[in-house]
Structure formats: C-alpha cells, structure tokens
Amino acid sequence: AGRAAMAGAASFFSAGAPIPAHLLRDLRSLMPNARALTPYGMTECLAVTAIDLEGIDAAGEGSGVCVGRPVPRVEIAIAEMDALGRTTGTVIDTPGVSGEILVRGPHVRDRYLMLWRTTRTAMRFEGWHATGDVGHLDEEGRLWVEGRADHVLATAEALLTPVQVEEAAESVPTVRRAGAAVVGPRGTQQVVVILETESGYRPGKAGRPRPAEPPLQEAVRRAVRERCGAEVVAVFTTRALPTDIRHNSKIDRAALSRWSEQTLRGQKADSL
C-alpha cells in the first residue's frame, strides 16, 4: 500500500544538502510519475534557485553542484575574492568566476534579531544578502555551489574551492567520499585530503584518520594536481568523515583542518 501511494506522488523535494543525481534516480524508481526537485536556499531566503533531475542531467559535469536558475523575483550575483579568499567588494555576474554567492528578493530577511554583527556581515553588500556559500554562475545563468566561503583554500598556487579538490579526489575509483582540509596561513596554505574508501567505509561516528596506502596517496595527488593544479601534502583515510550537527550530511571541513593542523605539527589531535 505504501509503494502504491508513493507511485502516485506528483513531485518530491530534497533540501538541506546536495543530493547526488543517482540517488534521485533511485527515488524516481519508487515515484515514477513524480518530478524530482532540489531547491537551493537557506533559512534567510527559501527558495533561491530550483532544478529538477532533468535539469541536472542537462547541466552535465562541472565544478560544484548545479542548483539551477533563480526562482521568480530572485536575483543572484557573485562577490569576487582576492588571493587570500576574502571578498573584495566587487559584485559581478560574470560566468565562470567563483566567489561568495549574493542573493536578493522580496522574501529575503532584512536582519537578524539582536545579532548586530551577523546582520552587518550578511548585509555588507548594499541591497544583497551574503550567503556565506561560494560558487559561480555558468553561461546559461545556472548557479553552481562549491562549498562554504570560509572553507576556500588559499594556496600559493591558486585560490581553490573545497569542492574542486574533493571532486578530483573522488574521481579515483576506490574513493567513496573526500574532504578537503588546509594547514598553514592563508596565501600559502597546504592541501590535505581525508578520504572514505569504498572498502573501508563504516557508517556512524567519524573515525581517527590514518595515512593512506602509498598507491592511493599517489593516485589522489595525481588527480588533484591534474584537475586543480594543486599539490596535496598528505592523504589520510577514515572509516567515516565528520559531518555538521545540523544536517548530519555536510562534511565538517573545519574539523578536518583543525585535526590536520595538529597532526602535521606532531601534536595530539582532537577527535573528529
């Protein structure tokens, strides 16, 4: 009876964190007549963009997660970043340029209750809400989300978004999921990659990372170098990557960077 009821659904939504296209297809097998929608937004502004499974397939491969075009009455722009990953104050809509995602529309909240500093940070671009996410627009006006602005990797070679490094590492066949971390000061940060492998993954609490086997280390380093132009200084594996408390799905990159910094300094590292 439950399957029969689901088969009659006209649409279903997934929000809170990116969902892979293959999982949407699996859900479509339970709801064959439903339109699979994945809107992008936040508490302060929902929705910002929307896309369905067919739109994801049409967008193809790219840097980050394609979340579609703006919904009616919403505008999107990008705040450029400097070499240290700081927004410069320049607001653009140039395709292919990554930076902090800005939104505006009639349903965007105008302030936070008694959180003056948070309000000032989010509204530092006049007329725009700064989301704290990093991404870019493509030639078709679609938005691609590439992670959090605070997690941008400011290396000596280039400014990289975490998703760029993670997608490169995940192109290695035995890698299930990757988390990008950095150590060192901004502008000369070094990249560390922590992995779940297909054979070693165990659902549940994050495990203590261990150095990856040499062939896997080399494969990951090569993939990141070829796709991003960045050098990876260390590769670790763990049974499960840490995730944020709110969603239990987004990788906690801050925890990975904190652990990596302590470990590579020879200190006793905090638990993930």
Greater model confidence, 17 or 127: 127
Specify the pLDDT at position 255. Answer: 94
Is residue 247 scored above 70 in pLDDT? no
Q: What percent of the chain has pLDDT over 70?
A: 99
The pLDDT value given to residue 248: 66
Average pLDDT of the chain to the nearest whole number: 92
Q: State how far Cα 58 lies from the chain centre.
A: 20
The H-or-E segment that residue 260 falls in is helix 253-264
Instruction: Please state whether 256 falls in left (phi above 0), alpha (psi between -120 and 50) or beta.
Output: alpha
Q: What's the pLDDT score for residue 113?
A: 86
Contact in structure between 205 and 242 (CB atoms under 8 Å): no
CATH number of 2-151: 3.40.50.12780
pLDDT for the residue numbered 61: 87
Residue 249 has pLDDT above 80, yes or no: no
Residue found by looking up tokens 């602005």 in the block: 149
The CATH topology of domain 153-264 is: GMP Synthetase; Chain A, domain 3 (3.30.300)
pLDDT of residue 46: 87
Of 222 and 16, the one with more pLDDT: 222
Quick one: pLDDT band at residue 259, thresholds 50, 70, 90? Answer: very high
Give the tens place of pLDDT for each residue, 142-152: 999 999 999 99
pLDDT band at residue 174, thresholds of 50, 70 and 90?
very high
| Cα–Cα separations (whole angstroms), residue 255 to 23, 154, 245 | 27, 17, 12
Integer angstrom CA distances of residue 75 from 48, 92, 108, 141: 8, 12, 11, 11
pLDDT at 14: 85
Domain parsing of the chain, residue ranges: 2-151, 153-264
Number of H helices, E strands in the chain: 7, 16
- Segment 99-112 shows an average pLDDT of 94
